[in-house]
């Protein structure tokens, strides 16, 4: 049988209004009375109705989602999923406001976090691992705002939770795929990152180099090159890599800009013999996976990430536990034979 506020009031020997104030964290209740109400809640196993609690507040939860500017298809898909989640969450009295910032610029991102209005209930941000960003996250956390990092973590900050894949594991997985696909051939492997100031790209690099150097001595990893996830930069870097190292047998692009790699491979007539492992299943990468220009794609489900973010921000605000199994973001591995 489900317990009600009336049951708690009878058990604690107080009025229904007093129980309502305690459950919803409002002022004006004596500490001893709060203890009695909480003891009754525990004794009865009462679970507050979160929707009723939001109605009692008189306003929606105000959550801010900060995503990168630019042409990264994955981030555009993530923004679209947040817009879809925003529509679904309105009936739950949860409001998601999406804001775009140059996340490759630490000072600009920190300034955007500092300028968020007072009274917001939570923030989710694709974050740069930068001192100013860390300080801005800590300031928000210290003021009682729950902060989540998305896609790329800032573990040394006081953020409440990270929503994204295990990027060390992603890098190791990319290395294993390349090592197995290349086979016994000797050659060089190029790696491209958006920025090594992004924690997810650093972690992918570390995992990638760790596996290749340990398990595939026939392959030499070239120094990583940064391209800010921009197609034109990625293409120029990839062209230069192929020209400087014609014995390159594989490329791993740990960030965005997959179209740039594809253009460079096709112009150099290397699309058929170069192993190419990319991140994120988009309309463009899907097409080139089918064609064989991309050999494998490591993916994180943007719909799961958007929904998980909304659930976690709400749970943090209401003091409810986060269900780790439900919120775990998996690494999907797609070949052209198993695309959804």
Q: Within a domain: residue 53?
A: no
pLDDT at 102: 95
- How many domains, in total, are found in the chain? 3
Does residue 218 share a domain with residue 312? no
pLDDT over 80 (residue 4)? no
For residue 309, give both structure tokens. 């973010």
Examine the domain organization and report whether 292 and 232 are in the same domain.
yes
pLDDT at 319: 80
Is 123 part of any domain?
A: yes
What pLDDT sits at residue 1? 62
Q: What CATH number is attached to the domain comprising 295?
A: 3.40.50.2300
Supply the pLDDT for residue 52.
57
Q: Which of 19-23, 121-125, 292-296 has the weakest average pLDDT?
A: 19-23
pLDDT of residue 58: 57
Per-residue pLDDT at 42? 85
CB 171 within 8 A of CB 206: yes
Statement to judge: residues 279 and 200 lie in one domain: yes
Q: Is the Cβ–Cβ distance between 37 and 18 less than 8 Å?
A: yes
At residue 250, φ and ψ (nearest 5 deg) are -155, 155
Which residue's structure tokens are 């529509």?
Answer: 87
Q: Left if phi > 0, otherwise alpha if psi is -120 to 50, otherwise beta: which for 198? A: beta
């Amino acid at each position: 049988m489900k317990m009600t506020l009336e049951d708690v009031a009878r058990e604690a020997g107080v009025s229904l209004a007093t129980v309502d104030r305690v459950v919803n964290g409002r002022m004006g209740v004596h500490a001893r009375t709060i203890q009695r109400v909480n003891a009754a809640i525990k004794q009865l196993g009462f679970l507050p109705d979160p929707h009723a609690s939001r109605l009692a507040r008189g306003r929606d939860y105000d959550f801010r989602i900060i995503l990168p500017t630019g042409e990264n298809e994955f981030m555009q898909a993530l923004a679209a999923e947040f817009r879809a989640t925003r529509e679904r969450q309105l009936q739950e009295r949860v409001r998601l406001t999406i804001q775009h910032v140059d996340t490759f610029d630490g000072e600009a991102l920190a300034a955007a976090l500092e300028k968020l209005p007072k009274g917001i209930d939570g923030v989710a941000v694709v974050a740069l691992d930068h001192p100013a960003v860390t300080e801005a996250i800590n300031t928000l956390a210290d003021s009682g705002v729950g902060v989540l990092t998305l896609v790329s973590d800032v573990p040394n900050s006081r953020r409440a939770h990270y929503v994204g894949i295990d990027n060390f594991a992603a890098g190791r997985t990319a290395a294993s795929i390349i090592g197995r696909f290349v086979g016994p051939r000797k050659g060089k492997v190029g790696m491209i990152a958006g920025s090594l100031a992004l924690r997810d790209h650093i972690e992918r690099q570390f995992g990638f180099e760790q596996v290749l150097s340990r398990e595939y001595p026939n392959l030499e990893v070239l120094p990583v090159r940064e391209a800010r996830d921009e197609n034109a930069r990625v293409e120029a870097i990839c062209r230069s890599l192929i020209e400087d190292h014609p014995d390159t047998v594989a490329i791993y692009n740990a960030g965005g800009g997959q179209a740039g790699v594809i253009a460079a491979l096709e112009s150099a007539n290397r699309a058929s013999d170069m192993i190419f492992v990319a991140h994120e299943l988009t309309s463009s990468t899907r097409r080139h996976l089918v064609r064989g220009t991309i050999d494998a794609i490591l993916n994180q489900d943007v719909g799961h990430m958007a929904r998980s973010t909304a659930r976690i921000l709400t749970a943090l605000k209401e003091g409810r536990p986060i269900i780790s199994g439900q919120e775990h973001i998996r690494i999907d591995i797609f070949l052209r034979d198993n695309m959804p």
